[in-house]
Amino acid sequence: MAEVKVPTLGESIVEATIGQWLKSEGEAVESGEAIAELETDKVNVEVIAEEAGVLASIVKQAGETVGIGDVIAVIDVGATAAAPAAAGTAAAPSGVTADAGATQQPAAAGTVPAAQPAPAASVAPATPAPLGVRATPSVRRAALEQGVDLSQVQSGRVELAHLAARTPAAPAGGSTASGSAAAAPDANASRPDEERVRMSRRRITIAKRLVEAQHTAAMLTTFNEVDMSAVMDVRKRRKDNFKEKHGVGLGFMSFFTKAVVGALKQFPRLNAEIQGDDMIIKHHYDIGIAVATEGGLVVPVVRDADRLSFAGIEREIASLAARARENKLGIEDLQGGTFTITNGGTFGSLFSTPILNAPQVGILGMHGIVNRPVAVNGQVEIRPMMYIALSYDHRIVDGSEAVRFLVAVKQMIEDPESLLIEG
């Protein structure tokens, strides 16, 4: 037998949640094959079998919290999976002996068969999952207890939560099989038109960290607006040649990343963090780019953004965003950022106050581009305008620094040629 343990998950991560089992008890497992998925506060990690054999037992079920080194399953090394039972027959569960002389007679019409006493300590066999449907032993047992036919479930993985909607309704009259009255409804239960969904570990961690950021930092936000005419003109003229030459589109993020780097060089305390009574001012520029995924917001990091060209930044952002949405980011992709950029404009946001990504002390929020009337040289013109917001930690960043930082970003975006010098 070989124990399957929770692997080391990365710096500062000491526990995880069993997200789902990719194998069920009794299934064959190959060496190097993923058998379970762990949810951490940053990424999801697959647990890989180091030995080939049969998954003998699952020690930790989906939804349970586990620590580094915890045993979550046992593999019977070298064993082979048992062949499925022939049609119409079912193997007796381990430890339970069938009575060879006992036969079950159908009840006469209109009569109720006498209740048969259950053998002491007997265990009801779990219903086998049909071909194409994956269900853990606990799900099979729940299906049997609730009278759910797994053969009627569409192909895919069946979770305990899915069985609730398929549980047969109670008999008319509200009585149970034994004739006793049904239990009173739980006062804390949700209404029929409400759904209770357990938050994922990532969502729980996001919630905790956002609240911590609000409680530990003296967070303020300052705002400005940017005329995007010049950047949009550059993109219009250059985007086709840029994509043909570099194989990636020329987006707004490379302009803002360059502008942020240039502004951070002018105001270095926005590229710092607080450790006790010290400020750690960083002279490297690892810019986090917030990416919305199905599981929640993640912030992968573009390393050494000051050393990358526009094409290099665009390629790195595209790669990180794709891997984030495919849940393929590694722990190292999310650690060590010095400043963050978030773009709510992709979802239509016009104005917002971004929350700090601790322990960073600054975050820039981009928003939607809207044609608005503005005064230009004494004349009213329609220009594509964007509101930008800088949230900062007032413990080490003064208001004047924050305002001038945002003005520097604004000036570089409105004069893209300056990005070649400042960024």
Catalytic residue among 70, 76, 394, 415: 394
Query: How far does Cα 124 stand from its chain's mean position?
Result: 37
* Secondary structure (H, E, C), the chain: CEEEECCCCCCCCCEEEEEEECCCCCCEECCCCEEEEEECCCCEEEEECCCCEEEEEECCCCCCEEECCCEEEEEEECCCCCCCCCCCCCCCCCCCCCCCCCCCCCCCCCCCCCCCCCCCCCCCCCCCCCCCEEECHHHHHHHHHHCCCHHHCCCEEECHHHHHHHCCCCCCCCECCCCCECCCCCCCCCCCCCCCCCCCHHHHHHHHHHHHHHHHCCEEEEEEEEECHHHHHHHHHHHHHHHHHHCCCCCHHHHHHHHHHHHHHHCHHHHEEEECCEEEECCCCCEEECEEECCEEECCEECCHHHCCHHHHHHHHHHHHHHHHCCCCCHHHCCCCCEEEEEHHHHCCCCCCCCCCCCCCEEEEECCEEEEEEEECCEEEEEEEEEEEEEEECCCCCHHHHHHHHHHHHHHHHCHHHHHHHC
Rounded Cα distance between 267 and 286, Å, is 15
Nearest to 40 by CA among 166, 201, 165, 176: 201
Nearest to 324 by CA among 348, 365, 294: 294
Rounded Cα distance between 27 and 35, Å, is 10
**Residue 398 annotated among the catalytic residues of the structure:** yes
**Residue 227 annotated among the catalytic residues of the structure:** no
Sheet strand arrangement including 44-48 = 44-48, 34-39, 15-21, 65-67
- Active site members: 394, 398
